[in-house]
Amino acid sequence: MTKRPNILFIMADQLAPQVLSAWGGSRVQTPHLDRLAEQGVVFENAYCNFPLCAPARFSMLSGRLPSRIGAFDNAVEFPATTPTFHHYLRLAGYRTCLAGKMHFVGPDQLHGYEERVTTDIYPADFLWSPDWRLDDESWLEWYHGMHAVLDAGPHRRSVNIAYDDEVEFEAVRWLHEHADGADDRPFALTVSFISPHDPYLAPPDWWERYRDVEIDPPRIPDIALEDRDPHSRRHWFLTGRHRDEVGESDVLRMRRAYYAVT
């Protein structure tokens, strides 16, 4: 019988493929990701099923469209009755473990994983659930406001970096313990980092790597606010763009910080 391979599934939040060398980028230094791409399989036509974190993850884990499992925002519960591919891996004899963020909402924080060696960085309860009966949308500005990126730049520490350090440490520890243990099952370990998710707060040495690197401005069509579609106009106000002035230097600073935390 052919020996079944171990599975190491690495995730990064808000990672734009076009900035990576493996996908033709030339600005960002990602030697480890580039080496993984060289030695592994690169899916050039893979598409995310949803622009928000939780629904995208639930869709990936279940193999079903967000519309089929009722996942429409980051506050929705992932039903424990929905099987994930980790349930099937366990049935196939795999030892399954999760280290890091998966944005599960609700009492089930495993969804097919046998073990979870870190907490999640986001709350598991329904704190983010909106009251759709209310007309007040002020909570949306809190959630989507520009504050998350306006402070981009060098910082000694951040919650994201501290969390990712813990994820890396616990994942490596788990791998060593599995290798030295008596469990001879193949493993499926998911290691899920939150970086480069905003806020883009980079350690000073990471920030300095891009001091002399040319930062390209984003390619965004210059469309007057009154000429935009209703959704885009609403999004402009929800993100606080009507209140917070964002200049070209701010945008370049944000992009430099994003490069640094990638």
Residue numbers annotated as active site:
53, 103
Report the alpha-carbon distance of residue 19 to residue 25 in Å, rounded.
4
- Residues 6 or more apart whose Cβ sits within 8 Å of residue 81: none
- Residues 6 or more apart whose Cβ sits within 8 Å of residue 29: 209
Structure tokens that stand for 24 in this block:
């033709």
- Residues 6 or more apart whose Cβ sits within 8 Å of residue 145: 238, 239, 240, 244
Residues forming a β-bridge with 11: 192
- Residues 6 or more apart whose Cβ sits within 8 Å of residue 58: 66, 69, 71, 78, 82
Residue type (1 letter), 55:
P
Report the alpha-carbon distance of residue 55 to residue 130 in Å, rounded.
16
